[in-house]
Structure 1
Amino acid sequence: MNTDHFPPLFLSHGSPMTALEPREAGAFMHKLGRVLDTGLGRPRAVLMISAHTSAKQVLLLGGLQHQAIYDFGGFADQLRTLRYDANGAPDLAEEIVALTRHAAQSIQLTEQSGLDHGAWVPLRYLYPDADVPVLPLAFVANASPAQQFALGQMLAPLAQSGVLIIASGSITHNLGLVFGQGRPPAIDAPEIEASRVFRNWWLERSAARDWQALLDYRAQAPFGIAMHPTDEHLLPWFITAGAGGVEAAPHRLHSSLTFGSLGMDAYAFGPATPRLVQALATNQSAAAILPAMRV
């Protein structure tokens, strides 16, 4: 079954260790994958936008096959044994390039391939068999939230034609708070005030469709800069928000935390969101048994 309409998604991916230590966010992503399959159907492909893949211009990685890239250091060696081998989608890549050919932010196509950990960690939970084609999209990390939103608006027709658009980043991302003191806080440490206030503000402004405040969050959000000293992990949120459109309020699907300040929230966008929310509600049990991670 493929209902053609998929809500664009923003998933906070956390550290690479999320692949081995799923906690609440990993359990949610596993459940989300099962609910997407049974409630909305299989997408033609996943257009994957990760905070860790950026370029000087918007770039679509159109390789025939993608593999996991281990773009990190200092974590468990076992992470480098985890694989994610997914097919690309060359025909769809050509469609996307044509879609934006005359736009202000035209997308360029490259035959490069690869999935950074911001992509393959969530995808291993959503589609553990790597049986959905993937197209990674490199965004411009120094473009403004408004420019990212406009890029998402150009991509909106894809969400209505069987493509699942996923942005991966982090709803809060100040690694100085996590690693700056030499030893990180406990993974289940209580949430610090700045993180709590910022995440609540983001939820409230999203529910109100206050796009002006959200796009200007660095000036208007409490603790906005403290929670995002650099904003590359939040900018993908605006791409999926643009793909969902201004009429439907962004909906928070999941909320959890690691290390007291690293938010793991997930959002859905666009008119197909209510169907996903309903499907999740009818499957209240958290993913019962997480799949064994293939090596």
Structure 2
Amino acid sequence: MDTATATTPTRLAGPTTAIAPIYLSHGSPMTALEPGVAGPFWQALGARIDASVGRPRAILAVSAHTLTREPVLLAAARHTTVHDFSGFPEPLYRLRYDAPGEPVLAQRVAGLLKTAGLPAHVVPEGGLDHGIWAPLRFAWPQADIPVLPLGFPPDWSPARLFALGQALAPLAAEGVLVYGSGSITHNLRLVFASRSGGMPPLDAAEMPESAAFRGWFAERSAAADWDALLDYRRQAPHAALMHPTDEHLLPFYVAAGAAGRVPATRLHDSITYGCLGMDGYGFGPGAGALA
């Protein structure tokens, strides 16, 4: 693994209006085929970003399914579609989202992280996991926007990942969309805990514990209560039940950090299987235009 040289970051040209960072819940891999109400939201989101600030020149993607020991930038010139799941219907494996990569942006991001005192590695490898490509295939189906995956350590705290996001803040003014992908609630044991032995219906009524957790997150986000949000495992209701491990929530903090300690806007609110939230968030003053 090659470590990027610590140099002064070179600013990339971009629009005059910053692109608000976003966090999307990507749900089950089946959302790529059967997205439910999240599909129209993702489609509208891409159009709203294009209309409000212009088409992103690149997407920096932080996914719960690309995990590394230290931050790693996948700087391939082109990415192939990774079907990182098994046991699903065959048509799902025929879906493709082979997008261009962004090697130049990888060096820019590595410089920003190193300037902030954070480790950063750049490798010439590629591939987009389903957490990245499932929402993107609805938002920008042409797969023509360059994507730069940033792998992150799942043992870093929310506060440390927020700081990583803060290091990425200059990218928003340079036409780069900082995109976190995970799940606002993620306990797969609950998804597969139906008495029949299979998954509950897609439109099953939401568990009270899930509703309480998602509501708390939305309220604290709107109030910019980052002290509580960064301490969510102690303060949020049913946090351990909704996130037995928190890798699917951690990309939220990277995207949030890129905007700073400002209010976050819940852009979308829906539930699948009674406990798997599909909420989406935007961060910073430009997020209101995306709701």
Q: Give the TM-score normalised by the residue count of structure 2.
A: 0.92
* Separation of aligned partners in 2, 1:275 and 1:31: 11
1:243 and 2:254 matched: no
Q: Report the counterpart of residue 159 of structure 1 in structure 2.
A: 172
* Separation of aligned partners in 2, 1:75 and 1:179: 14
1:269 and 2:273 matched: no
Which amino acid in 2 is paired with 1:262?
L
Residue among 202, 212, 218 paired with 1:197? 212
Which amino acid in 2 is paired with 1:271?
P
How far residue 82 of structure 1 moved from its aligned partner, in angstroms, is 0.5
Conserved in 1, the CA contact under 8 Å of 2:21 and 2:179?
yes
Deviations 1:257-276 (A, max 9, x none): 10000000000001222333
| Worse overlay, 128-137 or 93-102 | 93-102
Residue among 254, 263, 267 paired with 1:253? 267
1:135 and 2:164 matched: no
Let me know the Cα RMSD of the aligned residues.
1.2
Deviations 1:72-123 (A, max 9, x none): 0111111110101111111111111122223332221011100000001011
How far residue 67 of structure 1 moved from its aligned partner, in angstroms, is 1.2
Which amino acid in 1 is paired with 2:282?
A
Which amino acid in 1 is paired with 2:266?
R
Equivalent residues in 2 for 1:211-226 (5 A)?
A: 211-226=226-241
Equivalent residues in 2 for 1:85-100 (5 A)?
A: 85-100=98-113
* Separation of aligned partners in 2, 1:221 and 1:275: 28
Residue among 172, 177, 187 paired with 1:174? 187
* Separation of aligned partners in 1, 2:99 and 2:198: 36
Deviations 1:229-270 (A, max 9, x none): 010000000001101111x20100000010000000000001
* Separation of aligned partners in 2, 1:29 and 1:153: 25
* Separation of aligned partners in 2, 1:136 and 1:22: 23
* Separation of aligned partners in 2, 1:76 and 1:2: 42
Q: Report the counterpart of residue 78 of structure 1 in structure 2.
A: 91
Deviations 1:12-71 (A, max 9, x none): 000111011021111100111111112221111000111000100000000000011010
* Separation of aligned partners in 1, 2:276 and 2:240: 14
Conserved in 1, the CA contact under 8 Å of 2:32 and 2:92?
yes
Residue among 40, 49, 66 paired with 1:53? 66
Which amino acid in 1 is paired with 2:233?
R
Q: For residue 23 of structure 1, give the secondary structure of its aligned residue in structure 2.
A: coil
Q: Give the TM-score normalised by the residue count of structure 1.
A: 0.91
Conserved in 2, the CA contact under 8 Å of 1:244 and 1:270?
yes
- What are the ranges of 5 or more consecutive residues in structure 1 without an aligned counterpart? 278-295
* Separation of aligned partners in 1, 2:51 and 2:162: 30
* Separation of aligned partners in 2, 1:245 and 1:110: 28
Conserved in 2, the CA contact under 8 Å of 1:40 and 1:276?
no
| Worse overlay, 2-11 or 52-61 | 2-11
* Separation of aligned partners in 2, 1:45 and 1:54: 21
Q: Report the counterpart of residue 292 of structure 1 in structure 2.
A: none
Which amino acid in 2 is paired with 1:5?
A
* Separation of aligned partners in 2, 1:59 and 1:176: 30
Q: Report the counterpart of residue 6 of structure 1 in structure 2.
A: 19
* Separation of aligned partners in 2, 1:102 and 1:225: 34
* Separation of aligned partners in 2, 1:157 and 1:2: 12
Which amino acid in 2 is paired with 1:255?
D
Which amino acid in 1 is paired with 2:128?
L
The 3 A distance-change label for structure 1 pair 2 and 128 is farther
* Separation of aligned partners in 1, 2:236 and 2:144: 39
Q: For residue 177 of structure 1, give the secondary structure of its aligned residue in structure 2.
A: helix
Q: For residue 49 of structure 1, give the secondary structure of its aligned residue in structure 2.
A: strand
| Worse overlay, 212-221 or 91-100 | 91-100
Conserved in 2, the CA contact under 8 Å of 1:12 and 1:169?
yes
Which amino acid in 2 is paired with 1:48?
A
